[in-house]
């Protein structure tokens, strides 16, 4: 029988995705790995991000995971394609590592990722994307969106310091930063907003406060959970059954567990990775 589903993030942000996945798939086991010792990833070089991501995916494979979700948008933007086409294809062709951009782009375009045909015409749609500096610099989101849709106006806003504030439980600072970053995009009059880092839903209301009234904020965790449920219907062999949860960290387990409780209100018990 296949093992648990791996969920990887650079820190606590992926817990927002984990919660949505467990709510949608309560009969599937999960292993969460946070690379807290090396967070945040958003200010690191592409080479560093790729190396750290590969090491964490390898650790999840060692836990028996046949399927790993890169809940970290920075890792998905910077490292995923290279890992899929290189190391994974060579060393682990039987395993799968999936990113978190695909479900968002499918929701925006209204078409499955693998659908053939010309790009969907979304002329006039304005979307604001808030992400880490590394994700913005990669250009991954507008590039992937452009393959599947045309006419979309994308405003990207890099959000330095926001992940640090959330990881350090500086809630007031994080909310002030989020509201300020949202205000930077307000002049573009976006219709939709994408919080392109799994940490950012923790201050979703602060982003909303800085955006014009009526802007729809896409829920990436819910979209990822729905997409994974669909994937497992088509590939049920990719994950085992049961409600077990294991939480691993490269950081200090007691400190990480305490910070996770402060951020989410849930009692996640981390152990050393």
Segment 194-238, tens digit of pLDDT: 999 999 999 999 999 999 999 999 989 999 999 999 999 999 888
What pLDDT is attached to residue 20?
A: 96
Total domains in the chain come to 2
Pair 211, 121 in one domain: yes
Pair 85, 53 in one domain: yes
Closest CA to 154 of 179, 180, 131, 177: 131
Low-confidence ranges of the chain (pLDDT < 50): none
Pair 158, 95 in one domain: no
To which H or E segment does residue 64 belong? none
Residue 62 CB partners (closer than 8 Å, separation 6+): none
Across the beta sheet with 153-158, the strand order is 153-158, 126-131, 192-195, 216-218
What pLDDT is attached to residue 8?
A: 98
List residues with catalytic annotation: 72, 197
165: domain CATH number is 3.40.50.1860
Pair 89, 106 in one domain: no
The answer to whether the annotation marks 74 as part of a ligand binding site is: yes
What's 133's DSSP letter?
H
Backbone φ and ψ of 214, nearest 5°: 95, -5
Pair 107, 214 in one domain: yes
Pair 91, 180 in one domain: no
What pLDDT is attached to residue 215?
A: 97
Pair 246, 180 in one domain: no
Q: Show the domain range for 77.
A: 5-100+221-272
The answer to whether the annotation marks 138 as part of a ligand binding site is: no
Pair 230, 96 in one domain: yes
CA distance 71 to 65: 15
Pair 96, 125 in one domain: no
Residue 232 exposure: Cα atoms within 13 Å on the Cβ side:
24
Pair 244, 211 in one domain: no
CA distance 82 to 72: 15
Q: Residues for the chain: how many in total?
A: 273
CA distance 29 to 60: 13
What pLDDT is attached to residue 116?
A: 79
Q: Which tens digits make up the pLDDT trace of 176-193?
A: 999 999 999 999 999 999
Instruction: For the chain, give the longest Cα–Cα distance.
Output: 52
The answer to whether the annotation marks 199 as part of a ligand binding site is: yes
CA distance 250 to 32: 11
CA distance 75 to 151: 27
Please tell me the pTM assigned to this model: 0.90
What pLDDT is attached to residue 110?
A: 84
The answer to whether the annotation marks 38 as part of a ligand binding site is: no
Closest CA to 55 of 248, 259, 238, 228: 248
How far is C-alpha 16 from the chain's CA centre?
9
The answer to whether the annotation marks 35 as part of a ligand binding site is: no
What pLDDT is attached to residue 1?
A: 56
Pair 109, 215 in one domain: yes
Pair 116, 212 in one domain: yes
């Amino acid at each position: 029988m296949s093992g648990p589903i791996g969920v990887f993030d650079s820190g606590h942000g992926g817990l927002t995705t984990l919660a949505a996945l467990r709510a949608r798939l309560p009969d599937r086991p999960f292993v969460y790995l946070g690379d807290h010792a090396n967070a945040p990833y958003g200010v690191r070089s592409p080479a560093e991000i790729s190396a750290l991501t590969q090491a964490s995916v390898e650790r999840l494979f060692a836990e028996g995971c046949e399927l790993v979700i890169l809940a970290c948008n920075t890792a998905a933007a910077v490292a995923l394609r290279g890992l899929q086409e290189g190391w994974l294809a060579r060393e682990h062709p039987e395993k799968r590592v999936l990113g978190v951009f695909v479900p968002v782009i499918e929701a925006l375009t209204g078409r499955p990722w693998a659908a053939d045909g010309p790009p969907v015409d979304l002329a006039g749609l304005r979307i604001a994307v808030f992400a880490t500096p590394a994700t913005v610099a990669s250009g991954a989101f507008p590039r992937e969106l452009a393959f599947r849709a045309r006419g979309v106006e994308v405003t990207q806003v890099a959000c330095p310091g926001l992940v640090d504030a959330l990881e350090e439980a500086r809630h007031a600072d994080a909310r002030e930063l989020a509201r300020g970053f949202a205000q930077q995009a307000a002049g573009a009059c976006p219709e939709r907003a994408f919080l392109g880092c799994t940490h950012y839903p923790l201050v979703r209301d602060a982003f909303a406060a800085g955006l014009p009234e009526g802007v729809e904020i896409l829920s990436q965790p819910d979209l990822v959970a729905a997409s994974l449920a669909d994937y497992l219907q088509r590939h049920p062999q990719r994950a085992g059954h049961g409600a077990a949860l294991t939480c691993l960290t490269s950081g200090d387990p007691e400190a990480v567990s305490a910070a996770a409780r402060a951020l989410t209100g849930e009692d996640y018990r981390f152990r050393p990775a």
